[in-house]
Amino acid sequence: MTFQKRILCIGAGYVGGPTMAMIAHKCPDCRVTVVDINPERIAAWNSDDLPIYEPGLDKLIAATRGRNLFFSTDIEAGIRDNEIIFVSVNTPTKTFGLGAGMAADLQYWEKTARQILEFSESSKIVIEKSTLPVKTALAMERILNCRENGIRFDVLSNPEFLAEGTAISDLESPDRILIGSRETPSGLKARETLVEIYAEWVPREKIIASNIWSSELSKLVANAFLAQRISSINAISALCEKAEADVTEVARAVGMDTRIGPRFLNASIGFGGSCFAKDILNLVYLCRHYGLDEVADYWESVVHINRYQQERFIRNMLGAMFNTLAGKKICLWGFAFKANTGDTRESPAIFIARRLLEERAEVVVSDPKALKNARADLAGTEGSIAFIGDPVRAAKGCHAVAILTEWDLYRNLDFGKIFKTMAQPAFLFDGRNVLDHRRCFDIGFNVYPIGKPPLTHF
């Protein structure tokens, strides 16, 4: 079969894999190849045991893999043989040198640019899918167009807005597709080529265009705004606990204002995930670079509140359990940074587990999808740690259960039975406000929600 467009994606991660699977599914006329430097990841994409858990992903892969979707480690051939190249490599926070702990580490991104330059034998459209600091496209253009050999590269910015756990439905019905391009004739032509791909399933009015820098910045700002809402409601949750107000009631009342809206107002142990903190810190770094210290301080406070909320959770546990956790068995329900994913990157659970171990508690970790990652995250951490998949078995003999991920399965367990198997007095710390607190209290638990008065038998 001859394909109308040949598409490559460099980086077979949480974004590259699902995004390309959706393009392959919706555009049967396109041949889509995903490459990665990590051979184990590619082998997993080519197996029945996919490298990431995402509801609906296995079906999508089964429908497309081997038909018009291919996973490979041959980056050189991939670059040579394809005319449209998405770059979806990781852009973590820098851990060394200038900007350590704040700026984006662009080494993977730049390596990719140089590989594209080295292996290209014809002109290409190169699309930033990774989240990047503003003006990265300029660096990309400078690297790619440094040779005078008649090969032209048009760089577009097309940030990804999917959320893990809902990636497939987000990709299928996105709120918008943003494409940033140069306003030159070839820039506009490249943009139209990408629009045509998305227009196969996304309504045209949802495909929006902008200049490249606005597009790059919009991605950082979208994540900063989302994270800011969580820090805002989490800050209010601390006040609710003091003032005997209920944060869920406050969020409902506030969110019914159509100018504010109800989503992303769930108080929690804080946001996790590989992107929110990284992208805000990146934004803060950019602002400081441009001398905008007040703007930088404003956004940095979103991250401060997030750290404060996690530490507050530990302090509440300590206070409730008579100021000592040493030798007590604490069961953590959920380790993933949110429900419906096995991803634990920057999960608040990592911080909470480590802090509990510092207090010399014995920690039992339970999660339906994230135990493998949890084991890797806690490897080498000193103290007593056990990993048990079944939440009921995990809670047995524990002094407390702390809910760290809002998995649905925790809502409907037999709490009467669980209570009887636990050490008394038994404590429940609901870091996600997912349980029926009154019912658990009536069973005998001492219940500590987030942002609501505790229900205790003392």
Applying CB under 6 A, the residues found at the interface with ligand NAD are 10-16, 35-38, 41, 75, 88-91, 108, 111-112, 130-131, 160, 162, 164, 274-275
Q: Which residues of 34-72 are buried (b: 16+ CB within 10 A; e: fewer)?
A: bbbbeeebbebbeeeebbbbbeebeebbeebbeebbbbb
Q: What is the DSSP string of 259-318?
A: TT-STT----S---SSSHHHHHHHHHHHHHHTT-HHHHHHHHHHHHHHHHHHHHHHHHHH
Per partner kind, with CB cut-offs from 5 to 8 A, the member of ligand NAD, ligand UGA, none near residue 337 is ligand UGA
Is residue 82 a contact residue for ligand UGA (CB under 6 A)? no
- Please say which residue, 278 or 329, places its beta carbon nearer to ligand NAD: 278
Binding residue (CB under 6 A) for ligand UGA from 268, 282, 310, 433: 268
Nearer to ligand NAD, 272 or 431 (CB): 272
Does 273 participate in binding ligand UGA (rule CB under 6 A)? yes
- Minimum CB separation from ligand NAD for residue 18, in Å? 9
Minimum distance between the CB of residue 220 and ligand NAD, rounded to whole angstroms? Answer: 10
CB atoms within 10 A of CB 392: 15
Residues 195-254 that bind ligand UGA (CB under 6 A): 223, 226, 230
Min CB(345)–ligand NAD separation in Å: 8
Q: Which does 36 bind (CB under 5 to 8 A by kind): ligand UGA, ligand NAD, none?
A: ligand NAD
Name the residue nearer to ligand NAD (CB basis): 93 or 237: 93
Please check whether residue 363 is in contact with residue 385, taking contact to mean a CB–CB distance below 8 angstroms: yes
CB-based contacts of 314: which residues, under 8 Å, 6+ apart? 352, 355, 356, 359
| Rounded alpha-carbon distances, angstroms, from residue 234 to 178, 251, 454 | 30, 10, 16
173 versus 384: smaller Cβ distance to ligand NAD: 173
DSSP string computed for 224-256: HHHHHHHHHHHHHHHHHHHHT--HHHHHHHHHT
Q: Whole-number minimum distance, CB 73 to ligand UGA, in Å? A: 25
Query: Whats the size of the chain, residue-wise?
Result: 458
Q: How many C-beta atoms surround the C-beta of residue 155 within 10 A?
A: 27
CB of 447 to ligand NAD, least distance (A): 32
298 is an interface residue for ligand UGA by CB under 6 A: no
> Which residues are catalytically annotated?
275
- Contact residues for ligand UGA, defined by CB under 6 A: 131, 160-164, 223, 226, 230, 264-266, 268, 271-273, 275-276, 337-338
